[in-house]
Structure formats: C-alpha cells, structure tokens
With several copies, the nearest count.
Chain A
C-alpha cells in the first residue's frame, strides 16, 4: 500500500545523512567529550561545530545553546530554571491556554511551589492578544512564555510584539518554538527572545535531543542536577551522536528554509482550498494567514476524529486529531476548546501537517479520499439527521430492502 505521511508535527523521519553521520559517532568516535584523551578529543571539535550550526539556525551564538533531551525538557528547564533563579524578584508567570502540555503542566506544578500563573485566553483563530499580555503584567511578573506557533492549529503568535513588551518591562521572555524552528525564519537577537525551546525530531533531526537557547546574561538555574556538562547548566554525559546529527539537521534546515517554506505553503493552501471546495460544513481551525507553512487543521461537522483517522489510515494516509502528544488521554484538545469550539466539534478535528517528502500528488489523493470518508461517516452520524435524509434518498433502496 502507498503510505502518505501527513503527521510531521508529531515527528519526522531522521534525514539519512544525519542518521549515517550518527552511526559513525556511535560505534567509532564514541568518546566522552569531557575525557582528557584521544577518544574524548576525537569528538570535542564536533560538539563545538554542531553547537554553532544549531546557533546559526536561530541567530544565536554557540555559547547560548544548551542541549537537552528534547522539547519537553527544554520547556521544563526554561520555566523552572527561570522561576527558581528569580524567585526573589517575583513569583508571577504569564503564559497562554494553548501552550503545549510541557509548558502547561510545568506551570501547574510551579503553582504548587509558590508561583502564580496567568493563563491567557486566545481568540477564535488561536491568537494571543498583546494587549492582554500587557494587562496581565504585575510588578511580580518574572517570565512571559508564549509559544511561537501552535502545534495543533499552526497559528503563529505575535512573538515580536510580546517580546518587545517583555523587554521594555524587564521581564524574561521564553518561547516554545518546537513547531516553528526550521519552518519559519527566527532570529532570537532581532526578536528579543531570551529563551527558546526546540526539538530535533521535528525537523528531520534525531529524536531524544533538543536545546534551550538562553541569551547571555539571563539568570537561570540548572534543572537537571549533576555533572558539569553544558557549562554546568545541564548535567548528563553529552549525547554526541545526537548533537552531531542535530547540527547537520540544523544546517540543512537553514539552507532549505526559504524554498521549503514556499513549497509547503503552496501545498498547504491547495489542500485548504480543495477541502473547502469539496466538503461542505468544513471549518478551518487556526489563522488563515498567520499559519505554519505545513499546517492544515479542519473540523468536519458531525464527524468524530478517531473514526476519521482510522479510515484514513486504512487508505494509507497518516494524520492526527488534536496533538499526538496528548493521545493516551481521551480529552478533546485543550487548544480547540480554548478557541471556543464545542466538545463535539473539537472531537471532529483533523490535523494534516505536511513535510519534506509530500508532493502535489499526495494532496490530490488526499482530497479525493477525504471527501468520500467524510460523506460516509456523516451518513452514519445521528447528529446529522437532515444531511442523512439527503444522503438516504440515494441509498433509499437498501433501506427499504432491509426493512421489507
């Protein structure tokens, strides 16, 4: 069966060039870069070079990059590290209702440990209001954390404005850019970002590695205690193969950023327009323009998300409903609810996230398959009596026979 992967926001395949480079650092150049001997020396320079490659992708300097095990750790590190290091200054944190759970659950934990957190609402497009951020600031506010782009609906937040505001008020600004890095241009210096989280496996790099950018001069404490690695801010033997891999992935992402952004945006818009043209009662979730290049998110009235995914899967199409990271839970997406969708409609959301290997042909196939599936599921839905009647007219004979 032909398999089409439309779930790049969940994870991506490691680039073969990245993977092959890693292989070498696993089996041959396997040393610990902290070791004062040949095997340590063999990898020391690579770690330095990779740090620079990653720094280049976001406009940072190499010594502002701190490796972590992924986006979740970066978020935990940023929030807890800033909170505990600046407790004397204040105990108030501002974030939004649509953050990833790595931010939200960390904030909830901090609330149990002496901090107060404001969770700002968003509008129907998933946008945070800069004015609302301004209103929420108190003299106890030490950190504002707003994601660069949302992982479910792809909305790109007004980071530049919020960061400028934070700078003006002398408050640290953190952004979870796990979904944005490599897909949209980011320059932490120009954008006044103090801390930025990223994750390797979201842009064809290795799994199990991420980074936190920490602007020079930011007061933060370590969150993973132990050895003196990462200039004493993050303990644990360096994951050299992954560090090397992340560097290569960053370099490739930077070199392709512009063309890939354009390509994905046009595929994305073709898919959005195609769905809107072919499927009635399809609601685009997220912002139509301030949107990640590869993100498409729709709710189809009267259709439940999992049955949609399941049927797509049977046709070889991999998609997601809500966040892959929140599966294991059965609650509908907190992001869609925050945007004002009802439980029912939130359950019926479909997220398609495009990436490097997707083509026009994939989009055409998807459009063909999707409209059939939605029609079929709607015909089975009790929420859809009117529509059903319409459809049943054509299927009337079957029903008569069964009844007769």
Chain B
C-alpha cells in the first residue's frame, strides 16, 4: 500500500509541496502526530483581520501526510478563520481526488493540524 496507489494529484502535491516551511513568529502553530503511522504534521499561521494571510507546514510522514499538508495550506490561504475551521480532513482528501483506503484514517490529519493552529491563535488572541 504505498506510492503506487496515489493518484496524479496526490503525487504532484507530494513531489511539489505548496507552502512548505516555517513562519518565524507565527500567530498560531498546530501540531498533530500519530506515532503508529509515523506521521507528524506542524502548521504555522499568519493571521490578519481574521484572515489567514499566510500558512506553512512541516511534515514528517508518508506521501499522504505530505500531500494533505500541502493541500490544506492551499485550501485555507486567504480564508477567514471560520471558513478554515469548516475545512475537514475529508474535504482535504476530496480536494486531492481521493486517497488510498488504508491512508484515510491515519495519514489524513492535516486539517486537524490546521484546526489546532487556529485554536492556538485564538487562545493567544482572545477578544
């Protein structure tokens, strides 16, 4: 169940991940990890006026972990925090045109990491 079961779009996001890296002095950072699958995802946010101005990620994990991380950053960039919170793991997988079944529960956690980052921002910027 590896490389070979990924579709073109997933492979593209894996090979050319969007928004990879860190944001220095990020407004919010979220991390989720799953030691059994060996995936750890970290999302960095820059928020301005309730809008996600910038987003970056760093991921240790399989092809699906990297591709979903990349996709989630594309999906939320420029969105309001509320709209970003509506983006689910399932929506990320769908935006990628689907993931192999075996990857669905365990490596598809990028939206969770992004939600964690938003929560982190909210905690530090309580109104």
A residues lining the B interface (CB < 8 Å): 34-38, 40-41, 44, 302-307, 309-311, 313-314, 327-328, 330-332, 343-344, 347-348, 379-384, 388, 392, 395, 398-399, 402-403
Contact = CB atoms under 8 A, between A and B. Distances in A.
B46 A382 contact: no
Contact of A403 (B5, B24, B63): B24
Contacts of B38: 304-305, 332, 343-344, 347-348
A259 to B, nearest CB: 34
A324 to B, nearest CB: 10
B104 to A, nearest CB: 12
B97 interface: no
A306 B62 contact: yes
A231 to B, nearest CB: 12
16 contacts: A35-B4, A37-B2, A304-B62, A307-B66, A310-B62, A328-B1, A330-B36, A343-B35, A347-B38, A382-B40, A382-B41, A382-B42, A392-B21, A395-B21, A402-B56, A403-B23
B89 interface: no
Contact of A313 (B3, B17, B62, B66): B3
Please indicate which of the listed interface residues B4, B15, B38, B40 has the most CB atoms of chain A within 10 Å of its own CB.
Answer: B4
Contacts of B6: 310
- Shortest beta-carbon contacts, A-B, top 4: A36-B2, A347-B38, A41-B4, A306-B62
B40 A307 contact: no
A44 B1 CA distance: 10
Interface residues of B, number: 38
B60 A382 contact: yes
A167 to B, nearest CB: 31
Contacts, number: 108
Contacts of A381: 58-60
A330 B106 contact: yes
Contacts of B35: 343-344
Nearest to A44: B4
B98 to A, nearest CB: 16
Nearest to B37: A330
Query: Which label, helix, strand, loop or mixed, suits the secondary structure of the A interface?
Result: helix
Interface string B1-29: 11111100001001101011111100000
A328 B4 CA distance: 13
Given A38-B4, A304-B38, 16 more contacts: A36-B2, A36-B4, A302-B60, A306-B3, A307-B66, A310-B3, A310-B14, A310-B63, A313-B3, A313-B4, A330-B1, A344-B38, A380-B58, A384-B60, A392-B21, A402-B19
A313 B4 CA distance: 9
B63 A306 contact: yes
A11 to B, nearest CB: 15
A402 B62 contact: no
Contacts of B37: 330
Contacts of A327: 1-2
Contacts of A344: 35, 38, 60
Given A330-B36, A382-B42, A310 B24 contact: no
A36 B1 contact: yes
Contact of B3 (A34, A36, A395): A36
A383 B102 contact: no
A383 B14 contact: no
B54 interface: yes
Please indicate which of the listed interface residues A307, A311, A348, A379 has the most CB atoms of chain B within 10 Å of its own CB.
Answer: A307
B116 interface: no
Nearest to B14: A310
Interface in B38-64: 38-42, 46, 54, 56, 58-63
A394 to B, nearest CB: 13
Contacts of A35: 2, 4
Nearest to B39: A304
Contacts of A311: 15
A307 B63 contact: yes
Please indicate which of the listed interface residues A36, A38, A330, A388 has the most CB atoms of chain B within 10 Å of its own CB.
Answer: A330
B112 interface: no
B3 A388 contact: no
A44 B40 CA distance: 29
Nearest to A31: B4
A68 to B, nearest CB: 22
A36 B2 CA distance: 4
